Amino acid sequence: MTWANASWRTPAFWCGEHVPELPRPPCQHVPYGNTGGTRWGSGKGQPVLSTHAPQAAQAVTLPTTLDEAVAALAAMPAAVPVAGGTDLMAAVNSGQLRPTGLVGLGRISEIRGWQYQDGHALLGAGLTHARMGRPDFAALIPALAAAARAAGPPQIRNAGTLGGNIASAAPTGDALPVLAALEATLIIAGQDGARREIPVSHLLAGVDMLRGGELIGYVRVPLLHAPQVFLKATGRTGPGRAVASVALVLDPARRGVRCAVGAIAPMPLRPLEAEQWVARLIDWDNGRAVVPEALTAFGEYVAAACIPDPTPGVDGSVPELPPAVLHLRRTVAALARRALGRALS
Ligand SMILES: Cc1cc2nc3c(=O)[nH]c(=O)nc-3n(C[C@H](O)[C@H](O)[C@H](O)COP(=O)(O)OP(=O)(O)OC[C@H]3O[C@@H](n4cnc5c(N)ncnc54)[C@H](O)[C@@H]3O)c2cc1C
């Protein structure tokens, strides 16, 4: 069996709940190629004709704990971790990536759920979008649930994970602006049980990267018990990548509004001045009321902060933004206005 086989290319393969149970040791090391009839080999030694790039991976390891996964990466430094495989397998199939080994994370049950910890939720990196979209999770972190429900078609939501979304760090990653607005942190697992915690924004900005052999284990998110909104604009009807997205959370304890704009830059943008300005206009003691004009002004403030006017020319005149950029700015303004309106309604 090779990458040409549909079961390999189907991202759901990597999701632990889709893998049929086989007798296996706790940490399985499986060679590719002709392995005499296992699920991983063709069993016939026959080459398979394929329009896809030939794979170069030599081994798949399927650990059952986070520390085993880190140890497997240390043992095979050239191997790459794979969770749902929705991003990684697309790169393999398009020939952009030739992993010499894979460490599958789909059987690590400790990172597939969440737990409460000191007013925070500790989310496992292996949580799928489908799981985060369910009502019990939505009651906990509504904006992340909304982002998960908006992420791609059902096949992608069933397999794609929170950790994969963060590690891929694509500008269109729907979870990313939500995590930025929530000021979430990552618990990163390293060798010999080491754990370190960094803000998600540091990873996305490249200030603090994953080091060799490290894995994202958990995401720590504050539980704010207040309205949160995620809105996304796409260039098409039905599931699609974001052209722009806005996550907005209220933090009544600190009388704060936190907002992040996704997809329009390599990482989510926080319009801090607009957040502070609008937070001062909200009557926090009186049903969080705000004058309607403030919603429109907030939308424009956010959009102008994220997509500023061009710098004036030598004669002092300000050139107009190109029509496509102007359209994007209007889209961001509308999303931010609506997000604040919904959060305060
Ligand atoms: C058709 C299609 C539509 C899509 N639409 C959307 C969309 O609308 N919105 C959206 O946000 N995304 C979308 N995606 C992207 C993708 O589904 C998500 O980014 C998904 O969350 C990735 O998770 P995964 O588990 O599949 O990651 P994988 O593909 O398994 O891994 C992605 C990368 O992350 C690394 N990685 C995975 N887990 C960890 C970990 N725990 N620690 C360290 N590194 C790790 C892998 O090594 C790899 O480099 C789409 C993808 C496809 C193919």
Tell me: the pLDDT tens digits for 289-311?
A: 899 999 999 999 999 999 999 98
Please tell me the predicted confidence (pLDDT) of residue 228: 98
Domains and CATH numbers, the chain: 6-109 (3.30.43.10), 110-222 (3.30.465.10), 228-344 (3.30.390.50)
Quick check: 11 pLDDT over 80?
no
Please tell me the predicted confidence (pLDDT) of residue 72: 97
Distance 161 CA to ligand 1 centre (A): 6
> Cα separation of 124 and 83, whole Å?
12
pLDDT bin (cut points 50, 70, 90) of residue 57 is low
Name the residue with the closest Cα to ligand 1, atom 7: 151
Distance 150 CA to ligand 1 centre (A): 14
Query: Residues with beta carbon inside 6 Å of ligand 1?
Result: 11, 80-88, 90, 105, 125, 151-152, 156, 159-161, 163-165, 167-168, 172-174, 210, 215-216, 241
Q: What percent of the chain has pLDDT over 70?
A: 83
Distance 83 CA to ligand 1 centre (A): 8
Residue 298's closest CA among 229, 252, 235? 229
Name the residue with the closest Cα to ligand 1, atom 36: 164
Mean pLDDT value of segment 186-193: 97
Question: Candidates 18, 100, 165: which one to mutate for ligand 1, based on the most atoms within 8 Å of Cβ?
Answer: 165
Quick check: 201 pLDDT over 80?
yes
What is the atom index within ligand 1 of the atom nearest the CA of 150? 8
pLDDT bin (cut points 50, 70, 90) of residue 313 is confident
Distance 321 CA to ligand 1 centre (A): 33
How confident is the model over 265-294, as pLDDT tens digits? 999 999 999 999 999 999 999 899 899 999
Contact 297, 304 (CB under 8 A): no
Please tell me the predicted confidence (pLDDT) of residue 33: 36
What is the atom index within ligand 1 of the atom nearest the CA of 215? 42
> Cα separation of 151 and 173, whole Å?
8
Contact 159, 84 (CB under 8 A): yes
Question: Candidates 8, 60, 76, 87: which one to mutate for ligand 1, based on the most atoms within 8 Å of Cβ?
Answer: 87
Question: Candidates 13, 60, 82, 187: which one to mutate for ligand 1, based on the most atoms within 8 Å of Cβ?
Answer: 82
Q: For residue 66, which amino acid is it? A: L
Question: Candidates 10, 168, 198, 267: which one to mutate for ligand 1, based on the most atoms within 8 Å of Cβ?
Answer: 168
Contact 160, 167 (CB under 8 A): no
Residue-averaged pLDDT of the chain: 87
How confident is the model over 114-151, as pLDDT tens digits? 999 999 999 999 999 999 999 999 999 999 999 999 99
pTM for this model (two decimals): 0.86
Distance 137 CA to ligand 1 centre (A): 20
Helix 292-306 to helix 323-344 angle (10° resolution) is 140
How confident is the model over 17-54, as pLDDT tens digits? 333 444 444 444 444 333 332 233 333 444 444 445 44
Please tell me the predicted confidence (pLDDT) of residue 208: 95
Quick check: 2 pLDDT over 80?
no
* Bridge partners, 137 (sequence order): none
Name the residue with the closest Cα to ligand 1, atom 27: 164
Name the residue with the closest Cα to ligand 1, atom 37: 164
Please tell me the predicted confidence (pLDDT) of residue 16: 32
What is the atom index within ligand 1 of the atom nearest the CA of 89? 29
Quick check: 238 pLDDT over 90?
no
What is the atom index within ligand 1 of the atom nearest the CA of 176? 11
Q: Which residue has tokens 């943008």?
A: 269
Contact 188, 194 (CB under 8 A): no
Please tell me the predicted confidence (pLDDT) of residue 44: 45
How confident is the model over 71-122, as pLDDT tens digits? 999 999 999 999 999 999 999 999 999 999 999 999 999 999 999 999 999 9
pLDDT bin (cut points 50, 70, 90) of residue 56 is low
pLDDT bin (cut points 50, 70, 90) of residue 237 is confident
Residue 78's closest CA among 54, 90, 61? 61
Distance 50 CA to ligand 1 centre (A): 24
Quick check: 318 pLDDT over 90?
no
Distance 245 CA to ligand 1 centre (A): 18
For residue 126, give both structure tokens: 């292996």
Q: Is 32 exposed, middle or buried (0-12, 13-18, 19+ CB in 10 A)?
A: buried
